[in-house]
Amino acid sequence: MVSQGTGIAAAPTLAEGVYQQIRRNILEGRIAPGTRVSIRSLAESVGVSTMPTREALKRLGFEGLVEFDRRAVTITMLSPDEIRELFTIRSRLECLATEWALPAFDVEAAVALRSVLDRMAEPGIGPIVWRELNREFHQTFYACGTSRYLLELIHNIWDRIQPYMAVYASAVHDFTEADRQHAHMLQLMLAGDLDALLDATREHLHDTAEAIIRALDTGADHEDQEKNVNYEELSVSSFHGLIESGETTSAEVTAWYLQRIAELDDADNPSGPQLNSVVTVNPEAIAEARRIDERYARTGTLVGPLHGVPVLVKDQGETKGIPTSFGSTAFADYIPEVDATVVDRLRKAGAVILGKTAMCDFAAGWFSFSSRTQHTKNPYALDRETGGSSAGTAAAVTANLCLVGIGEDTGGSIRLPSSFTNLFGLRVTTGLVPRTGFSPLLHFQDTPGPMARNVADLAAILDVIVGYDPADAYTAIATTSSDVGDYVEAVSGVDVDALQHFRVGVLSDAFGSGDDQERTNGVVRAALDTLRRRGAGVVDGLVLGDLPAWVAETSLYTIQSKSDLENFLAARDHGGPSTIREIVDAGDFHELTDLLADIADGPDDPEDDPNYFKGRARQEEWRRTLIAMMAEADVDFLVYPTVQVPAPTREELAAKRWTALDFPTNTVIASQTSLPAMSIPVGFTDNGLPVGLEVLGRPLSERALLRFARAWELAESPRRAAALTSVAKA
């Protein structure tokens, strides 16, 4: 579907692409030293067969980065003496580079280094960003010299040490001393004091080596490291590989996640970041996991496609025996007797329900604050919002508090927080996933759905939860097309070259204007340039026209939501309030959930409102308009920023900079037209905040959306773990 123009760089071969991706994962610390992974699981994680994976591992073994046998690979773990040896070599090379660079050090280089130091000292900087800036500082100075060969040697030794620099940056929570050392070195450069600068360089590298050794020694007592297994960034396929190789059990992984929740999430743990993403844990989670393990021990067969997978579910979905509050303090004690359909399907597929995640009151907003749980912190910047209303699921998945998560999307509540937390989040065609047992907001827009760190996991969850539910007439759409289902199969054969088979249309008027908007726009435009380089067709300049009017004229929350919510509550024996007016008048909602008061003022019967039928008709008109736009431009999808601004601070929200109905999110485009859309991570702002690209498709185009996202994932490896996901024990 895309013509090949001139000047496009040739895509790397499959073997080269696999080698580069695995190597990048090792160097950036996403596969930690000492981790043992089956070759099959590793191949599945990059979406290829084992043959090119083995070829890539041979090259990595020659470089000393891995050790592998017939079935598994271990990321090389250096001894303390080997680390010291490498840093001794590094010290000698860098001292030579210092001698050659200092005479050529000039004002321009000094300004560049000062800029790097300023960024390194920014409050709340994460270890990944700090590590990259640390390397940039030294590289900028040594580049003042004239020897290309010396720089190549230094780069080689840096790459060899890089996995351990990831350990260092994640273990050292306060970079003050390291920043002081860098600032001192800059002062010596400016003074031209070579002898003192050489001493400072040696001291800095010695301190770094010893900090790495201490970090590795501190982690040696962890049970998961004793077993040579790293559960961070675990995927469904790699988890099942560990199960089948006997390296772990569902109970062990479930216990690991519960421990992380206690350490990283619990608001009562003063030594942790207190993310506040999990409302309650399932007291039977370990017992359920053990039963799955026992069955596997007897049969040798996985109990289902989600065998033993620990899942967190948004507190909007009813869970038998586990409190379900819908984000409201008024329902804190409500314990359902029946699972929501989605939860039931997860259990039958072998999943372990780990617990419930935070959300704003009745999902009536874009943020995390709720009367039940207050605020959920963003793992990438603790003073920032996670976004909502599936805030808890987003924070928990990205912080590795579960393997995968379930959110719910009415106006964007899966995609918006996915954008803010560097996740893949999919809103399916309305009705494809059953809503039974999920508190509604707008029944003709509501849909539960998956949120995951990678596309394959998203597909695995979809395969389980999609399908007809007799209790939800909207799900009949799942029976109308052969394009429904088989999502894991759809992504299994995707490679990086698949991007060349897609065309996307850029919806120009979905890009906002303003300082905050430009921070997001820059990241999205860079991603579009990357798509072009990768061979995708990119059609610029598509204009819908008067986007704010389309949004306003199709928004029906204040007309429909009251009826939907009260009908839902009336059908349950919960002992709580039965009307939204009771909740609002009693003040049993978070004061910043401004939409709930508007909902309480809505009509008892939506059809009594003169704008109801007009709004429904306008939604259908907007749907036709978008599909026609794709047809006219001959594109597979429309693309634009998922949200026009980066994650706001809690202070901005407390000051009521936005209301629920004027927050600049583009997610309502898909929601108010019932079209499928996916937020995919495409990068970070200059201050380290994740940015998502929304990809909007035609009805029932979920397979194509997943394939596009998988190709992007393989090409760019956009997932970057938040800093705190590497510190299970602070």
Q: Give domain limits for the chain.
A: 14-75, 81-217, 237-554+612-716
pLDDT band, residue 132 (cuts 50/70/90): confident
| pLDDT of res. 591 | 85
Give the pLDDT confidence score for residue 43 in this predicted structure. Answer: 73
- Ranges assigned E (strand) in 592-689: 637-641, 677-684
DSSP bridge partners of 542 = 507
pLDDT band per the 50, 70, 90 thresholds, residue 175:
confident
- Catalytically annotated residue among 413, 419, 439, 679: 413
**Could you write out the DSSP letters of every residue in 543-561?**
--S-HHHHHHHT--HHHHH
Give the torsion through C-alpha atoms of 344, 349, 353, 358, to 10 deg: -70
* CATH 3.40.190.10 for the 14-75 domain, yes or no: no
What global pTM score does this model have?
Answer: 0.72
- Give residue 534's pLDDT: 95
What pLDDT does 70 receive? 59
Query: Which pLDDT score is estimated for 171?
Result: 59
For strands 404-409 and 310-314, give the pairing: parallel
Q: What confidence category does residue 126 fall into, taking pLDDT thresholds of 50, 70 and 90?
A: low
Identify the active-site residue in 45, 389, 390, 701: 389
Alpha-carbon gap, residue 50 to 58, rounded angstroms: 12
Q: Rg of the chain's alpha carbons, rounded to an integer?
A: 26
Cis peptide bond upstream of 271, omega within 30: no
Q: How many residues does the chain have?
A: 730
Q: How far is CA 506 from CA 22, 349, 383, 417, 539, in A?
A: 31, 38, 32, 22, 6
Say how far residue 226 (Cα) sits from the centre of its chain.
28
CB neighbour class for 597 (10 Å; exposed up to 12, middle 13-18, buried from 19)? middle
Q: What is the pLDDT of residue 134?
A: 86
Confidence of residue 226 (pLDDT cuts 50, 70, 90): very low
pLDDT at 5 over 70: no
Q: What is the pLDDT of residues 585-603, one digit of tens each?
A: 998 889 888 899 999 999 9
DSSP string, 665-714: BSTHHHHTTT--EEEEEEEE-TTS-EEEEEEE--TT-HHHHHHHHHHHHH
Residue 14, pLDDT > 60, answer: yes
Q: In 3D, which of 69, 66, 70 has the Cα closest to residue 57?
A: 66
Mean pLDDT (whole number) for 33-37? 73
Q: Average pLDDT of 288-315?
A: 94
The matching CATH number, chosen from 2.30.30.110, 1.10.275.30, 1.20.1250.20, 1.20.120.530, for 81-217 is 1.20.120.530
Q: Partners of 68 in the beta sheet?
A: 73
pLDDT for 723 equals 78
- Phi, psi torsion values for 162, nearest 5 degrees: -55, -45
Give the model confidence (pLDDT) of 498-548 as tens digits. Answer: 999 999 999 999 999 999 999 999 999 999 999 999 999 999 999 999 999
What is the model's pLDDT at position 249? 93
Q: What is the pLDDT of residues 143-156, one digit of tens each?
A: 999 888 998 998 88
> How confident is the model over 84-125, as pLDDT tens digits?
998 999 999 999 999 999 999 999 999 999 999 988 888 767
The pLDDT, as a whole number, for residue 71 is 64
For residue 727, pLDDT over 50 is answered with no
Which phi and psi angles does 425 have, rounded to 5°?
-135, 130
Name the superfamily (CATH) of residues 237-554+612-716.
Amidase signature (AS) domain (3.90.1300.10)
325 carries an active-site annotation: no
299 vs 313 pLDDT, higher one: 313
Give the dihedral of Cα atoms 293, 298, 304, 309; nearest 10 deg: 10
* Structure letter (DSSP) for residue 469: B
Is the pLDDT at 651 greater than 50? The verdict is yes
Mean pLDDT lowest for which of 167-181, 679-693, 698-712? 167-181
Strand partners, 73: 37, 68
Judged on CB neighbours under 10 Å (0-12, 13-18, 19+), 681 is buried
Average pLDDT over residues 421-435: 98
pLDDT per position as a tens digit, 448-461: 999 999 999 999 99
Q: What is the mean pLDDT of the chain?
A: 89
Token pair recorded at residue 616: 């429904």
Measured CA to CA, the distance from residue 98 to residue 203 in angstroms comes to 14
Residue 77, pLDDT score: 81
Residue range 567-575: average pLDDT? Answer: 93
Confidence of residue 224 (pLDDT cuts 50, 70, 90): very low
Residues with Cβ within 8 Å of 218's Cβ and at least 6 positions away in sequence, in order, are 171
Do residues 615 and 445 lie in contact, with contact meaning Cβ atoms separated by under 8 Å?
A: no
DSSP lists the bridge partners of residue 381 as 378
The model's confidence at residue 6, banded by pLDDT at 50, 70 and 90, is: very low
Percent above pLDDT 70 for the chain: 92
Point out the catalytic residue in the list 38, 91, 277, 314: 314
Q: What is the pLDDT of residue 159?
A: 81
Least confident of 164-178, 267-281, 479-493: 164-178
Catalytic, 614? Answer: no
Question: 334: Cβ–Cβ under 8 A, 6 or more apart, which residues?
Answer: 323, 324, 325, 572, 574, 575, 576
Tokens of 24: 């990048």
What was the pLDDT predicted at 424? 98
Residue 638, beta-bridge partner list: 505, 696
Whether the pLDDT of residue 478 is over 60: the answer is yes
User: How confident is the model over 33-41, as a mean pLDDT?
Assistant: 71
d(CA 418, CA 550): 24
Q: Is the pLDDT of residue 273 over 80?
A: yes
CB 371 within 8 A of CB 501: no
Q: How far is 43 from 35, CA to CA, in rounded Å?
A: 15
Amino acid at residue number 245: S
* Mean predicted confidence (pLDDT) in 472-482: 97
Question: Once rounded to an integer, what is the mean pLDDT over residues 159-187?
Answer: 77
CA 428, CA 422: separation in Å to the nearest integer?
A: 19
Distance of alpha carbon 636 from alpha carbon 675, whole angstroms: 13
Least confident of 374-378, 459-463, 726-730: 726-730
Q: Any bridge partners for residue 431, and if so which?
A: none
